[in-house]
Amino acid sequence: MEYCDDGNLSELISKRTTYFSRKQIINWFKQLVSGLGYLHEQQILHKNIKLENVLIYHKPDKKRVLKLADADVSDVLST
C-alpha cells in the first residue's frame, strides 16, 4: 500500500472550515463502497469502519484517493 501522507478522513474533516462539494463527497463515497465491495467479493468482513481508518493518499495528479485501513479487525467469511 502507498504511504498515505495526507492523514485520515477524520483529521481532514476537523481541519476544514468550509463544506466539501457534493461532487467530492459522492466521489469519496463511491471509492469507499468500491473498496468494501472488493473486500466482500474476497469474503472479508471489515469490522472497524470509521473515519480514522479511512486514509487519504494524494496521487501525483493532485487527486485524493481514499483507502480503507485497519483490516486487523476483520473476519474471513466461510461458506
* pLDDT tens track, the chain, 79 positions: 567 778 899 999 999 999 999 999 999 999 999 998 998 898 888 878 889 989 998 888 878 889 888 766 566 777 6
The HSE-up count of residue 9 (CA atoms within 13 Å, CB side) is: 20
pLDDT on residue 79: 63
pLDDT on residue 9: 93
* Structural fold of domain 9-76: Transferase(Phosphotransferase); domain 1 (1.10.510)
* Contact status, residue 57 vs residue 28, Cβ threshold 8 Å: no
pLDDT on residue 16: 92
In terms of Cβ atoms closer than 10 Å to its own Cβ (0-12, 13-18, 19+), residue 66 is buried
Write down the residue that cell numbers 486514509 correspond to: 55
pLDDT on residue 75: 67
The angle formed by the CA atoms of residues 13, 73 and 51, to the nearest 5 degrees, is 5
pLDDT on residue 39: 87
- Domain extents in the chain: 9-76
- Please give the Cα distance from 68 to 52 (Å, whole number): 9
